[in-house]
A and B are shown apart, each in its own frame.
Chain A
Amino acid sequence: MKRSEFLQMLREKVLFLDGAYGTEFFKRGYKGLIELLNISKPEIVERLQSDYIQAGANILLTNTFSANRMKLRAHGFESEIEKINFNAVEIARSVCKNQLVFGDMSSTGSFVQPFGEISFDEVYEIFKEQASILIKAGVDGIIIETMSDLKELKAAILAVRDLSNDIPLIAHMTFEEDGKSVTGTSVEIFATLMNDLDVDVVGVNCSLEPKQMLSIFARLAKYSKKPLSVEPNAGKPFLENGKLSYRTTPEEFAVYMADFVELGANIIGGCCGTGPEHIKVMTKYIGTQKPRKREIIDIQYLSSRTNLKPIDTFLIIGERINASGKKKLQAQIQQRDFSGVLTLAQEQEQEGCTAIDINFGIEKLLRKEHFQQAIIQLDKHSCLPVSFDIQNLDFLEIAMKEYVGRGLINSAFAREDHLVERINLLKRYGGLLIVLAMEKDIPKTAEERFQLVLKAAEILKGNGVELDRVYFDPLVLPIGAKNDYHVTLKVIDLINKAGLRSSIGLSNLSFGMPNREHINAAFLALCVENGLNAAILNSKEALTMGALQGALSLQGKEIVKVENVLHDPLVDIIIKGQKEQLMNVVQELLKQHDPLYISQQVLAEAMKKIGTLYANGSIYLPHLILAAETVQPAFDYLNNLLGESRIKLGKILLATVQGDIHDIGKKIVATVLRSGGFEVYDIGKDVPAEKILQKCKEYNPDIVGLSAMMTTTVGQVKEVADLLRSEKINVFLLAGGASMNQQLADQFGVMYAKDAVQALEFCKKFVQGGAK
């Protein structure tokens, strides 16, 4: 099917997707890797898909959710990848009449760097391989769903698009109840990046039942310019007569799905826990409907993985990560030591910047790995949106590929060849662009520069780039070289009157002059008066920042507000990952206090505050992981000083249960527990109950923590709990993961921890005698 045909269908009526596969096969008595059914018992898959067709589904998904090489490898079926995917398409096709078949793809189960070990290129290849089989087998489209990492989703989208420009593509993420993915990406960040990427439909699925998902979908509907799809769960699972059941009845599901249609959904279906009956009631209740028109927020945004910055107010781009003329910074970058870059990024955030410019200057001495690593490090530290001041096109592409969010390309010349190369990157990776009002040389007059602005605008429009994604730079030249600053002011005025946006590199003005800050501040105020929208500047210059604030106030405008949630300097250091500074603080404290006091009264207290910040949504998972990693060496150091009396609160054994290969959540818990003073034995993923028992006998832990991500494997938690109890292993049992919930935990007789911070809290209570 062609994309244009699919999009036409979406304009005509709301389409129905099918329901769950994993949980439905589970209900029907099939366990393990359900994708294997495609080759071992295809009739079972065929029966379920026939049921979905009978229920009224317009789109069937192939039974290939986990059929990527990485997941199949983990289960020992890597060699069957082609057959599993190919058969899945054949089975779906065999039951379809006029319905569509979409190839289903999901996460590899591991996070991409920096949160996991796998690289962007590796996941890209994994997705490309699976998509290639599905497309060759004849799917009508591809859906990528249940993704919690925006970077992994981006890799999957690019992989599909590199195979086919014409295959319809749906991209989904999964969010927690607060509208953020576990990696800290908000639904708005997801929506605004997807507006740029070459996908046909965006949506949300899994994790939440319809009632909880409604507000998240409403946010998506406000920010997304693409058609929308949605697949909620049928509630959290609970145990009923020894079988997992789901709370949301088909009727309740249908009643809420009508709300999604009212909010603008183009495609609706079900995720975990939904079955043919849910789809049948939904399709009958909703019937044939035309999609609703939506009111979409018409503002452009810059974003990183966790920061979303609107650019309708004045955009301040910090200029100080510029290695030109900074030998120490150059040397650090060359050695791939990005501590200086990170410090500058964090300083500029504190100073009120809304984005940071990255200019390594010495590009001829660098390789692509430098840019790759720099972007990964900035992402890990949850930095502001990035402005890519990178001249080499290959390096620019590497940085944009690795970047998570919507960055700014700084910059393109108003020359067709140069501009189109950068437009192509913009289209592939998303983001915004600065275009210089020059081709090879800088025109002398304002009119000449403005003509180049208009010429560039035409090229941009001709290539399908909306002009509100573009800043035009009128060019600021040093007044010390007898350049007339009025020319720049005049171009800003002309750009403003043409309804376009302008941005300048401010500091160039005062190059070689005394009292640079005074000159910069005065000129910036004049630029604002002429309609300037953004500036790359030195945010350390208090006078400049003050003049900007003043000039904007006179116009009744303001700078994007900086949200600073951190008030404790130690917490600040830990969250920013400043290991060296933290060790300096510890050394200072050791002059007055003993190691035990510092460990328990200072660091542990700071981590407690960080846990609270995470719990109330002030910081995100990346901050939490980074904080735990940052504080760990300090704890280890203090422990070594304590010698025999070192602090270990207790021993914890962690495992992901049998059949489940999702590891990252458990690793995060391990990191946080270690940083909280526990001795942690992580025995891996897909661990059978018997092995957990054996390891308990070997390590004699105080606590056993079990993780289950899949609804089809959550029952294993009970198996383990029952086995340990029957063998009289006296441990505190803790369970977590996407499929666990309080009710299940009560039924299994284990403690439920919703996240790593709560797990730490419960473990501490237990060793202090406060939890049972």
Chain B
Amino acid sequence: MSEVFYPGKLDCMPDKKIFLARAGARYGKLDEDFIHRVNELFLIALEKIEPVVYYRTSDLSILPKEIIPSSFGNIKKMTIFLSTLGSAVDTLISQLSEQGKTFDAFIIDSWASEALETLNENFDQSLRERFGMGTMRFSPGYGNVDLRINKYIVKEFLGVDQVTVLDSGVMVPRKTTTCMVGWFNEEK
């Protein structure tokens, strides 16, 4: 089945400018107190995450047609990976919300989304170093690939038990994504 990669936390540290923009704030315009508060939340969240990536590369022949993005064109192989920050950060966001700490919950939620994106980007780069020229990274829910295909990807293709996939294709833990990259050449 799939291979597992345990990234370091550094691989998940998002650019502050980007995650703050996601939260609707401009990094360069923030006052110092705000920055201190954001940094505290950054470090609390970083402490909580348990990042892991499950991945598998295969020929197109064994994949269902509906999983292959139409934009991938003439590829030979495809890597599909699932990345998750784990459930603890979900719990943290819920607890903060329940305690009425909406600001903290909001910032950490934005942070975690961008942390996951940072992880995906770093893992994507490592794949490209291995496989050479590839397509853009793609996720179900866009283009012709239905979000509900996640159930197949997670349970059947990758065989990941730690992630629950709802009938809608939404995954739990919430900070989880599935991605795919097509390769034009053989592995280096």
Contacts and interface: CB of A to CB of B under 8 A. Distances in A.
A516 interface: no
A252 interface: yes
A256 interface: yes
Nearest to A285: B13
Contact of B27 (A215, A251, A262, A285): A262
B63 interface: no
A258 B10 contact: no
A751 B43 CA distance: 32
B33 to A, nearest CB: 10
Interface string A608-619: 000000000000
Contact of A262 (B9, B28, B43): B28
A252 B43 contact: yes
Interface in B6-55: 9-10, 13, 15-17, 27-28, 32, 35-36, 39, 42-43, 46
B39 A285 contact: no
B18 to A, nearest CB: 11
B13 A256 contact: no
Contacts of A281: 10
Nearest to A249: B43
Contact of B42 (A211, A255, A262, A292): A255
A251 B13 contact: yes
A255 B19 CA distance: 13
B28 A292 contact: yes
B10 A256 contact: no
Given A215-B32, A251-B10, A285-B13, A256 B27 contact: no
A258 B27 CA distance: 10
A256 B39 contact: yes
Nearest to A252: B43
Interface string A367-407: 00000000000000000000000000000000000000000
B32 A214 contact: yes
Interface string B120-160: 00000000000000000000000000000000000000000
Contacts, number: 36
Contact of A258 (B9, B16, B43): B16
A718 B15 CA distance: 42
Interface in A244-285: 251-252, 254-256, 258-259, 262, 281, 284-285
Contacts of A284: 10
Contacts of A252: 39, 43
Given A255-B42, A262-B27, A211 B10 contact: no
Given A214-B32, A262-B27, A262-B28, A254 B39 contact: no
A420 interface: no
Nearest to A215: B32
Interface string A561-584: 000000000000000000000000
Contact of A251 (B17, B35, B46): B46
A598 interface: no
A218 interface: yes
Nearest to B122: A284
B13 A211 contact: no
A285 B10 contact: yes
A259 B39 contact: yes
Nearest to A286: B15
B9 A251 contact: yes
Contacts of A218: 32
Most buried by A among B9, B13, B46: B13
Given A251-B10, A252-B43, A211 B36 contact: yes
Contacts of A292: 28
Nearest to A284: B10
A39 to B, nearest CB: 37
A252 B9 CA distance: 12
A262 B18 CA distance: 13
Contacts of A211: 36, 39
Contacts of B9: 251
Contacts of B46: 251
Given A281-B10, A285-B10, A285-B13, A255 B43 contact: yes
A709 B127 CA distance: 49
Contacts of B43: 251-252, 255
A605 B9 CA distance: 56
B35 A254 contact: no
- 9 interchain residue pairs of minimum CB distance: A285-B13, A255-B39, A255-B42, A258-B16, A281-B10, A259-B35, A252-B43, A215-B32, A262-B27
28 contacts: A211-B36, A211-B39, A214-B32, A214-B35, A214-B36, A215-B32, A218-B32, A251-B9, A251-B10, A251-B13, A251-B43, A252-B39, A252-B43, A254-B13, A255-B13, A255-B16, A255-B39, A255-B43, A256-B39, A258-B16, A259-B16, A259-B35, A259-B39, A262-B16, A262-B17, A262-B27, A284-B10, A285-B10
Interface of A: 211, 214-215, 218, 251-252, 254-256, 258-259, 262, 281, 284-285, 292
Interface of B: 9-10, 13, 15-17, 27-28, 32, 35-36, 39, 42-43, 46
